[in-house]
Amino acid sequence: MKNYIVCFLLLLSYSCKNNPKEDSEEKWIPLFNGKDLNDWIIKINHHEINENYNKTFVVRDGILAADYSGYDSFNEDYGHIYYKKPFSNYKLRVEYRFTGEQVKGGEGWAYRNNGVMFHCQDPATILKDQPFPVSIEAQLLGGDEDGERSTGNLCTPGTHVEIGGALITEHCINSSSKTYRGEQWVSFELVVYNDSIIHHIVEGDTVMTYSKPQIGGDLPDGFPLPQGFALTGGYIALQAESHPTEFRKIELLELEK
């Protein structure tokens, strides 16, 4: 009898985890259509909104890329491309990789460096000479031939979060991920519950968890929200920080509040 009960529970567990009906009910939204940038808003430092300076963001062969073939050198031309509408509760999946060489003039820290910015301020409110949006950043990094360099890290431009009940004011906190080198594709997932808990997941492993995203630290001139204001949602953006990067999947699943 005992063995029968154990077998039944194992079968039930397997059935729940592998129920095709359950998977089919998940309505993932492809944010990138693989064809063009019509659903996206571009903002590059020193330039007006939707000025795609030097064709920084391009679509080729079904891939959205931060591209520097049109640059002679990089002069703090930090770029972000925002999906057209904000979200609050969701899972986001992206597949990314770093390619080629960093453009001349890029900072050393920006080598194989990109990010998923979320809970972003409205791109229409970003100043012409504002290099980064007020947001939470899931930092994506690529490793060199030697040494360790985690990805799925946390950075906080104009924001703070809490980890283990403590307010975190450092700009960047490393995750527990392993190092991903060269031009290999990496799968990253973000799980966001408005101003509650947030998870960073790299290749199926949860590598960072924190909570209570809020306004904090240095802010752009005239920014209207006060220190400590809870961030319950916002726009999602991908970066261009001087190293060519490709994204071949960008999809979102909205969650219940």
Nearest Cα to 125, choosing from 135, 117, 136, 133? 133
Tokens of 145: 């031939």
* Distances in whole angstroms, Cα of residue 178 to Cα of each of 91, 115, 171: 22, 17, 21
* pLDDT at residue 167 greater than cutoff 80: yes
Nearest Cα to 108, choosing from 138, 74, 82, 151? 74
**Per-residue pLDDT at 256:** 83
**Per-residue pLDDT at 214:** 98
**Per-residue pLDDT at 2:** 45
If 0-12 CB within 10 Å is exposed, 13-18 middle and 19+ buried, where does residue 156 land?
A: buried
Over residues 83-107, the mean pLDDT reads 98
Element of type H or E holding 3: helix 2-17
**Per-residue pLDDT at 257:** 67
* Distances in whole angstroms, Cα of residue 91 to Cα of each of 62, 162, 177, 194, 234: 22, 20, 19, 11, 14
* pLDDT at residue 116 greater than cutoff 50: yes
Element of type H or E holding 24: helix 20-24
pLDDT greater at residue 11 or residue 39: 39
pLDDT greater at residue 16 or residue 42: 42
* pLDDT at residue 11 greater than cutoff 80: no
pLDDT digits over 38-86, tens only? 999 999 999 999 999 999 999 999 999 999 999 999 999 999 999 999 9
Task: Give 109's contacts (C-beta < 8 A, 6+ positions apart).
Answer: none
Over residues 125-142, the mean pLDDT reads 98
Question: Which domains can be identified in the chain, with CATH numbers?
Answer: 28-254 (2.60.120.560)
| Lowest mean pLDDT, pick from 10-14, 21-25, 103-107, 214-218 | 10-14
pLDDT digits over 209-255, tens only? 999 999 999 999 999 999 999 999 999 999 999 999 999 999 999 99
